[in-house]
Amino acid sequence: MWVIAILIVGYAVRRTNEKLGERHVPMMGVLAAFIFAAQMLNMPVAGGTSGHMLGGVLSAIFLGPFAATIVMSTVFAVQAIFFQDGGITALGANIINMGLIGTILGYYIYQGIQKAVGGEKGILIGAGVAAWIALVLGAISCALMLWTSGVVPLGVALPAMAGIHMFIGLIEASITVVVVGMVLKSRPDLLELQKI
Amino acid sequence: MNMKWWHIGLIIALVLAGGVSLFASSSPDGLERVAIDHDFIELGEGHEVIRSPMPDYVVPGISNETLAASLAGLIGTLMMFGLVYGLGKVLKGTSVK
């Protein structure tokens, strides 16, 4: 997982390096700060379980898939190194499940819906749907990794992980839509940065 | 005073991490819940590869738990902003074009 994560993040660094502009830099910083903060906010879901947002789709909507990949990977690295959250050995898997699936896969889902629906409505619907799908896919990917690592049988891991994350996905979708909606209202130009 | 949009964004993040986070649910999250229900949560307690300065989002050496947690959130948020902002500057500065 580390190897796959390094390859994709490395590619993202190259892409970003080629295209990054002056106005992207504060956006990357603010998104990193916001996503770090938002990931601390566990909200109760069901039966003594909580969930928090991830933010991959949110950051990709503003920055595009590759610059967003750098933001998300840095957030997970800081959590593991400075806050002992997630772990160093699991960092590769965490970057893939909670970062790349949102920033890359989620971004293209968002883009597809946004273009199909069009306008502000397209942006908001795309944001919500992509955020939900990306979070659930991340959970499914995590279940597959647990299974292939021999931790739990697939028949156990898959329904358990997908089930609870269908609810957590609602948190992801609503925060993503609210933040994008607020920016659309107050500073729509911020959504027009070149996507990297 | 001339507030830029990203000042406001950063302030929102600091309020969330330093204040609102104190009211966050401490229940296990999605993966932790599944891990507890299916008896593999202990696998997450591997050996320490490195020693973190602020494990579990608490600044060590502060007896007031609220303050220690709030400070960890503020420090982390500022650190995130600084680190990624710096990274962006470097990536932009070394652009081949």
Q: Kindly state whether A149 is in contact with chain B, defined as any CB-CB distance less than 8 angstroms.
A: no
- The stretch A128-139 carries a mean pLDDT of 96
Can you tell me the mean pLDDT for A100-113?
96
pLDDT score, position B97: 46
Mean pLDDT of A36-40: 94
**HSE-CB of B60 using CA atoms within 13 angstroms:** 9
Q: Does the pLDDT value for residue A184 go beyond 80?
A: yes
Closest in A27, A30, A40 to B57, CB measured: A40
Give the A window 80-119 contacts with B, CB below 8 Å: 81-85, 87-89
Instruction: Give the DSSP letter of residue B20.
Output: G
| CATH top class, domain A2-192 | mainly alpha
From chain A, pick out residues whose CB is under 8 angstroms from the CB of B54.
Answer: 82-84
Q: What percent of chain B has pLDDT over 70?
A: 92
Q: Which residues of A touch B83 (CB under 8 A)?
A: 32, 74, 78
Which positions in chain B touch A191 (Cβ < 8 Å)? none
Chain B residue with CA closest to A73: the answer is B84
Does the CA dihedral A110-A113-A118-A121 come out positive or negative?
negative
Q: Which two tokens stand for residue A44?
A: 């109760």
Alpha helices in B1-97 (DSSP H): 5-18, 30-37, 65-93
Would an 8 Å CB–CB cutoff place A13 in contact with chain B?
yes
The C-alpha angle A83, A87, B47, rounded to 5 degrees, equals 105
User: Could you tell me the pLDDT band of residue A139, with boundaries at 50, 70 and 90?
Assistant: very high
Provide the pLDDT for residue A156.
Answer: 92
Taking the domains of chain A in order of start, what are their residue ranges?
Answer: 2-192
Q: Where are the domains of chain B?
A: 5-93
Q: Nearest Cα to A83, choosing from B8, B79, B85?
A: B79
Instruction: Using an 8 Å CB-CB cutoff, list chain B residues near A50.
Output: 24-29
**Closest by Cβ to A74, choosing from B21, B73, B84:** B84
CA distance B19 to chain A (A): 10
For B17-59, write each residue's pLDDT tens digit. Answer: 999 999 998 888 889 999 998 888 888 776 777 778 888 888 8
Mean pLDDT of A112-127: 96
Contact B85 A40 (CB under 8 A): no
pLDDT at A143: 93
Contact B21 A40 (CB under 8 A): yes
Closest chain A C-alpha to B84 CA, distance in angstroms? 5
Asked if A74 and B83 count as a contact pair (C-beta separation under 8 A), the reply is yes
For A51-97, the pLDDT digits (tens) are 999 999 999 999 999 999 999 999 999 999 999 888 888 998 999 99
Interface touch B16/A161, C-beta < 8 Å: no
Whether B3 shows a pLDDT value over 90: the answer reads no
pLDDT surpasses 80 at B93: no
Cα–Cα distance, A90 to A85 (Å, whole number): 10
The Cα B58–Cα B77 span in angstroms is 13
What is the arithmetic mean of pLDDT over B58-65?
A: 86
- pLDDT greater than 80 at residue A155: yes
Cα separation, A179 vs A175, in Å, equals 6
Judge whether residue A193 has pLDDT over 90.
yes
Mean pLDDT of all residues in A135-162? 93
Task: Calculate the average pLDDT of chain B.
Answer: 87
Please state, in angstroms and rounded to a whole number, the distance separating the CA atoms of residues B8 and A193. 18
Q: How remote is the C-alpha of B96 from its chain's centroid?
A: 33
Phi first, then psi: give them for residue A44, nearest 5 degrees: -65, 135
